[in-house]
Amino acid sequence: MVEGEKQIISELATAFVAPMTVNREKFQFQRFSRLNRVLHILMIVSFISLALTGLTIKFSYTGWAVILSHLLGGFESAGYIHRFFAVVMVSVFITHIVDITRMKKKEYKTWRALIFSPGSMMFNKKDVSDIIGTLKWFVGKGERPQYGRWTYWEKFDYFAVFWGILVIGSTGVTLWFPELLTNIIPGWVINVATIIHSDEALLATGFIFTVHFFNTHLRPEKFPMDIVIFSGRTPLEEYKIDRPAEYEELVEKGELEKYLVEPYPQIVVRSIKVFGWAALLTGFGIVVWIIYAMIFAYR
Ligand code: HEM
């Protein structure tokens, strides 16, 4: 056991004896595991790299793409970098599936039990009432809904990436090996795959760099940036307000303490913010580039 963990446990032990003496502000709530954080960082790096290299190829007739292609070592090299990050992204996806399979074996016996468990990413009845409650809250006709472990917009974003990777990955592999695949499929499929891959790329970048960015960082409660996906932890007070249903459930079950951790040192938080800002600004830049290319230069 590391020194920090020992200290937390001894402070929590004190809390049971004299609850008023423990400084609960010192602890944060652990929301994401290390594996999920690493996978999300790799997903960000691979997605931004795929978008930059892919769009450079797609809009190769624009001045911006020519500048970018020089930085990337030419259009051909942009294609190689694109393939490299495609492998990274598909590996992230496979690792996530392996992780869920492991979780199923360890904590749930069947896929059905995992998919329909209360903490699952699958939509359930509460999401419907949360959507209605949120709309009422927006127009001042009700309180903010008591969100739980996952909100309906997080589930929506999750499934958008899930099916997006299947579509963009399968069409991408078709573009990667056209000679090999046309031994078994007709040639026109390559043209269709190019259109689907290219348009899905616009949809994915447009969605991630506007809707996903707004949902996670730009909504008033989190503005200008929520670093929880990088640090894995969130201040206890903020968590209580943000996810009241999950908080109350953990308190009732007496399990909250299991998720309390110490905050990261300032230097780590600052480094995380630098990475976060770089990703946010690159994403917004790509959206501006797409809008410019579609309005003024689209062929
Ligand atoms: C994850 C698996 C992926 C694979 C296997 C893949 C593979 C490919 C390949 C082989 C090409 C042709 C490149 C060339 O001509 O040298 C391509 C083009 C392209 N890719 Fe991907 N890619 C993937 C993901 C993505 C993602 C996530 C995006 C955007 C966010 C993207 C955007 C594009 C674009 C815009 C093009 C140009 C299409 C055109 O010519 O109109 N790709 N991709």
Query: Which tens digits make up the pLDDT trace of 98-151?
Result: 999 999 999 998 999 999 998 899 999 999 999 999 999 999 999 999 999 999
For the stretch 63-111, pLDDT in tens is 999 999 999 999 999 999 999 999 999 999 999 999 999 999 999 989 9
Where would I find the H helices in the chain?
3-17, 34-58, 63-71, 75-107, 111-115, 125-138, 152-176, 178-181, 188-207, 213, 228-231, 236-242, 244-253, 266-292
Structure tokens at 184: 């078994």
Q: Is 283 in the pocket of ligand 1 (CB under 6 A)?
A: no
Q: Is the CB of 222 under 6 A from ligand 1?
A: no
Ligand 1 pocket, 210 CB below 6 A?
Answer: no
Residue 18 is predicted with a pLDDT of: 37
- In the reported structure, the alpha carbon of residue 193 is separated from the centroid of ligand 1 by a whole-number distance in angstroms of 10
Assess whether the C-beta atom of 250 lies below 6 angstroms from ligand 1: no
| Ligand 1 atom nearest to 176, measured from its CA | 10
Alpha carbons 178 and 118: distance in angstroms, whole number: 44
Report the separation in Å between the CA atom of 79 and the middle of ligand 1, taken as the mean of its atom positions: 8
- Tokens representing 153? 């917009």
> Which positions ≥6 away from 258 have C-beta within 8 Å?
none
Looking at the CA of residue 79, tell me the nearest atom of ligand 1. Answer: 16
For position 23, what pLDDT does the model report?
54
In terms of Cα–Cα distance, which of 16, 38, 9, 34 is closest to 233? 34
On the CB side of 5, how many CA atoms lie within 13 Å of its CA?
Answer: 4
Q: Are 180 and 186 in contact (CB under 8 A)?
A: no
Ligand 1 centroid – CA 105 distance (Å): 35
Q: Which atom of ligand 1 is nearest to the CA of 46?
A: 27
Task: Looking at the CA of residue 47, tell me the nearest atom of ligand 1.
Answer: 27
Interval between CA 226 and ligand 1 midpoint (Å) = 29
Short-list 299, 282, 288, CA closest to 59: 299
**Does residue 181 have its Cβ closer than 6 Å to ligand 1?**
no
| Residue 250 burial (CB count, 10 A) | 18
Q: What is the CA radius of gyration of the chain?
A: 23
Instruction: Report which protein residue has its CA nearest ligand 1's atom 8.
Output: 172
Sheet holding 28-30, edge to edge: 233-235, 28-30, 260-261
User: Other CB atoms closer than 10 Å to residue 274's CB: what's the count?
Assistant: 9
DSSP per position, 113-180: HHHTSTTSSS--HHHHHHHHHHHHHHTTSSPPP---SS-HHHHHHHHHHHHHHHHHHHHHHHHHSHHH
Distance CA 52, CA 48 (A): 6
Could you state, in chain order, the average pLDDT of each consecutive group of 10 residues for the chain (299 residues)?
Answer: 46 42 72 98 98 97 95 97 98 98 94 93 97 98 97 97 96 98 97 97 96 95 96 95 97 96 96 98 96 89
User: Does residue 65's CB lie within 6 angstroms of at least one atom of ligand 1?
Assistant: no
- Quick one: pLDDT at residue 170? 98
